[in-house]
Amino acid sequence: MLTKKQYELLLFIDRHLKQTGFSPSFEEMKDALKLKSKSGIHRLISALEERGFLGRRRHRARALEVLRVPENLTIHDDDDSVSAKSPAFLPNVIHGDFTSRIPAVRAANDAAAIQLPLYGRIAAGLPIEALRDPTTYVDMPMQMLGSGEHYALEVAGDSMVEAGILDGDMVIIRKSDTADTGQIVVALVDDSEVTLKRIRRRGNSIALEPCNVRHETRIFPADRVKVQGRLVALLRRY
């Protein structure tokens, strides 16, 4: 027996996987179920895992997978729960046999994932030296990438929190030496230090703006700053 919220979350994750190839973020799940905090999503996912409806791929970000979707269900508003009906019952929520398609969904997800080099940790607070030699790789759904060459960096620091980029997040960067004003970029300063910031062009100067009021914007002559890539995606482990 599942609660209404557990059932709704399971259907939302299943639909998101089929449409995008990867599981939704906790923020997307919270908004979809109209919950006030992510802690409620944590509890729902734990309950669905305990009941064998959800699983996780270890050491991957956003790696929930639907193991099965219950059929022949009805929702009882009086006890806020979901239970099975007789075989003759036709549900008006689920149509068709979703469980038979789950292995194909997993196979498609695996086939659509590519490996990107992880270059190291990039400071989102104070610049640090760039780590140029990839030593490890991260899996990334191809649907989240466009054309061009990409790499991953792990964020260190809190200066981009107001842009939704947290300490420990994995940012996916498309290599580029140009960027429009307002884009979040990997910027190389004086050929020796690299940082993740929002770029602003002001005449012959370039401002590297944090997204945290506790950090200051740094302004340089344009010839001291080189764009090394633009932010295109973000991965987060829970």
Q: Among all residues, which ones are annotated catalytic?
A: 159, 197
Taken in order 211, 184, 192, 155, is the CA torsion positive or negative? positive
Read off the tokens for 187.
């910027």
Q: For residue 100, count other CB atoms closer than 10 A to its CB.
A: 8
Read off the tokens for 66.
């639907």
DSSP assignment of 65-82 equals EE-----SEEEETTTTEE
- Decide the pairing of beta strands 150-156 and 113-123: parallel
Rounded to whole angstroms, the Cα distance separating 227 from 29 reads: 34
